Structure 1
Amino acid sequence: MRGVFVINFIACDTHSHTVASTHAYSTLHDYIASAKDVGLSLLSITDHGPEMPDSPHMWHFGNMKVWPRLVDNIGILRGIEANILSQPFQGSGHRYVDLPDGMLPFLDFAIASFHEPVFTPGSIKDNTAAMIRAIKSGVVQIIGHPGNPNYPINQDEVVRAAKDNNVLLEINNSSFLLSRKGSEPICKRLLETVANHDWKISVSSDAHISYDVGKFDQAEAIIEKVGFNPDNIVTKTPKRFLSFLQDHGKSFDAELLEWANKLES
Structure 2
Amino acid sequence: MELLVDLHTHTIASGHAYSTVTENALAASRRGIKLLGMTDHGPKMPGAPHLFHFDNLSILPDELYGVKILPGVEANITNYEGDLDMPMRYLEQLKLILAGLHPICYPGGTCEQNTQAYLKAMLNPYIDIMVHPGRPDFEMDLEKIAHASALLNVPVEVNNSSLATISGKDRARNNCNSIARYMSKYKSPVILGSDAHFWDRVGEFSEALELVRETGISEQQILNTSPERVLDYLVERRKRRTEFNPISLKYRLSIA
Same-fold call, TM > 0.5?
A: yes
- Does the 8 A contact of 1:188 with 1:222 survive in 2? yes
Cα distance in 2 for residues equivalent to 1:128 and 1:58: 28
Cα distance in 2 for residues equivalent to 1:101 and 1:169: 22
DSSP 3-state at the match of 2:231: helix
- Does the 8 A contact of 2:142 with 2:182 survive in 1? yes
Stretch of structure 1 that moved more, 66-75 or 201-210: 66-75
DSSP 3-state at the match of 2:204: coil
- 2:188 counterpart of 1:195: no
* Structure 1 residue aligned with 2:249: none
* Structure 2 residue aligned with 1:38: 31
Q: Which amino acid is the alignment partner of residue 200 of structure 1?
A: P
* Structure 2 residue aligned with 1:113: 100
DSSP 3-state at the match of 1:9: coil
Cα distance in 2 for residues equivalent to 1:79 and 1:212: 19
Flag structure 2 segments of 5+ consecutive residues without an equivalent.
Answer: 240-256
DSSP 3-state at the match of 1:20: helix
Cα distance in 1 for residues equivalent to 2:91 and 2:112: 29
Cα distance in 2 for residues equivalent to 1:224 and 1:196: 14
DSSP 3-state at the match of 1:96: coil
* Structure 1 residue aligned with 2:58: 65
* Structure 1 residue aligned with 2:243: none
- 2:131 counterpart of 1:144: yes
Q: Which amino acid is the alignment partner of residue 207 of structure 2?
A: Q
1:78 Cα deviation from its structure 2 partner:
1.0
1:249 Cα deviation from its structure 2 partner:
1.4
Aligned residue runs from structure 1 range 191-230, under 5 A:
191-230=180-219
* Structure 1 residue aligned with 2:247: none
Stretch of structure 1 that moved more, 164-173 or 237-246: 164-173
Measured against aligned partners, the alpha-carbon deviations of 1:150-188 in whole angstroms (never above 9, x if no partner) come to: 212112221222223221110111011221522112111
- Does the 8 A contact of 1:124 with 1:151 survive in 2? yes
Aligned residue runs from structure 1 range 1-265, under 5 A:
9-86=2-79, 96-180=83-167, 181=169, 182-249=171-238
- Does the 8 A contact of 1:22 with 1:55 survive in 2? yes
Cα distance in 1 for residues equivalent to 2:175 and 2:187: 18
Q: State percent identity of aligned pairs.
A: 32
- Structure 1 vs Structure 2 CA RMSD: 1.5
- Does the 8 A contact of 1:141 with 1:166 survive in 2? no
**What TM-score, normalized by structure 1, do the two folds share?**
0.85
Measured against aligned partners, the alpha-carbon deviations of 1:216-235 in whole angstroms (never above 9, x if no partner) come to: 00101111111210110011
**What TM-score, normalized by structure 2, do the two folds share?**
0.88
Cα distance in 1 for residues equivalent to 2:80 and 2:188: 29
1:87 Cα deviation from its structure 2 partner:
6.2
DSSP 3-state at the match of 2:74: strand
- Does the 8 A contact of 1:135 with 1:167 survive in 2? yes
Measured against aligned partners, the alpha-carbon deviations of 1:90-119 in whole angstroms (never above 9, x if no partner) come to: xxxxx6112211212331121111111111
Cα distance in 1 for residues equivalent to 2:91 and 2:100: 17
Cα distance in 1 for residues equivalent to 2:41 and 2:108: 19
Q: Which amino acid is the alignment partner of residue 236 of structure 1?
A: T
